[in-house]
């Protein structure tokens, strides 16, 4: 059985495939479907965006589709960047530009502001018959204003885990997959294991 991962983000695809390496499915992604329809992520929640992506790609491929919508939420910044995490500094923003925007906004806050942050992820699984399964995962940490580490992607260099004394970007993929928001959400969908 094949599941199509509704993403062209190579980093996200690699992480999902790694987490699901022991499942009974094989995986492809939108990188394997160059003519896939464009998807405008205009939902107001992670759930809406994930389901929209999965439905569109399931209709296009006729296959089971897994879609992820995730983001970094910082309470001190009114939960920004949130659902706009991938395009926080603009539609074509790089990881580095998005990180820089978070750091710049945070530096304008009072010095004693809480650095509490959460990574949130919603996974939607849509079947060709229209059936939908979903799950949410959360990982709690803090923002560090000094990026650290070379692993991971996105905001990983500034997402600090006090219990481990490391950022996500300082963890190996295997270590990150034990605790990440994406891993938590995927493991809740027991039908894919």
Model confidence pLDDT, tens digit, residues 122-173: 999 999 999 999 999 999 999 999 999 999 999 999 999 999 999 999 999 9
Structural domain count of the chain: 1
pTM comes to 0.93
Could you read off the pLDDT of 164-188 as tens digits, one per residue?
999 999 999 999 999 999 999 999 9
Q: pLDDT averaged over the chain?
A: 95
Closest by CA to 185, choosing from 45, 66, 26, is 66
Residue 4 has pLDDT above 70, yes or no: yes
73-106 per-position pLDDT tens digit:
999 999 999 999 999 999 999 999 999 999 999 9
CATH of the domain at 24: 3.90.950.10
- Residue ranges with strand state E in the chain: 2-5, 26-29, 64-74, 80-81, 116-126, 132-143, 159-161, 166-167
Is residue 129 annotated as part of the catalytic site, yes or no? no
157: domain range?
Answer: 2-192
User: In whole angstroms, how far apart are CA 14 and each of 24, 92, 117, 178?
Assistant: 17, 21, 24, 15
What is residue 43's predicted lDDT score, i.e. its pLDDT? 95
**pLDDT digits over 29-80, tens only?**
999 998 999 999 999 999 999 999 999 999 999 999 999 999 999 999 999 9
Confidence of residue 191 (pLDDT cuts 50, 70, 90): confident
Q: Would you say the C-alpha torsion 147, 153, 155, 159 has a positive or negative sign?
A: negative
The whole-angstrom separation of Cα 55 and Cα 71 is: 20
- Residues 6+ positions from 22 with CB-CB distance below 8 Å: 193
Under a CB-based contact definition with an 8 Å cutoff, are residues 81 and 102 in contact?
Answer: yes
In this predicted structure, the answer to whether residue 193 has a pLDDT above a threshold of 70 is no
Residue 144 burial by CB count (10 A; 0-12/13-18/19+): exposed, middle or buried? Answer: middle
Confidence of residue 190 (pLDDT cuts 50, 70, 90): confident
- Which pairs with CB-CB distance under 8 Å and at least 24 residues apart come from 139-142? 139/179, 139/180, 139/181, 139/184, 140/116, 141/117, 141/168, 142/115, 142/116, 142/117
Of these residues, 22, 69, 91, 129, which one is catalytic?
69
């Amino acid at each position: 059985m094949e599941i199509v991962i509704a993403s062209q983000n190579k980093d996200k695809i690699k992480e999902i495939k790694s987490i699901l390496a022991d499942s009974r499915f094989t995986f492809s992604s939108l990188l394997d479907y160059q003519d896939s329809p464009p998807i405008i992520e205009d939902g107001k929640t992670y759930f809406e965006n994930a389901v929209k992506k999965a439905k569109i790609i399931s209709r296009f491929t006729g296959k089971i589709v897994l879609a992820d919508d995730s983001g970094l939420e910082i309470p001190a910044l009114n939960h920004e960047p949130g659902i706009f995490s991938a395009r926080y500094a603009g539609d074509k923003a790089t990881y580095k530009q998005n990180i820089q925007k978070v750091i710049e906004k945070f530096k304008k806050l009072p010095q004693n502001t809480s650095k509490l942050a959460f990574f949130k992820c919603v996974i939607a699984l849509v079947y060709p018959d229209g059936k939908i399964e979903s799950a949410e995962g959360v990982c709690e940490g803090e923002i560090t204003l000094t990026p650290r580490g070379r692993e991971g992607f996105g905001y990983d260099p500034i997402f600090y885990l006090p219990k481990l004394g490391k950022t996500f970007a300082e963890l190996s993929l295997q270590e990150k997959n034990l605790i990440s928001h994406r891993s938590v959400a995927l493991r809740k969908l027991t039908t894919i294991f």
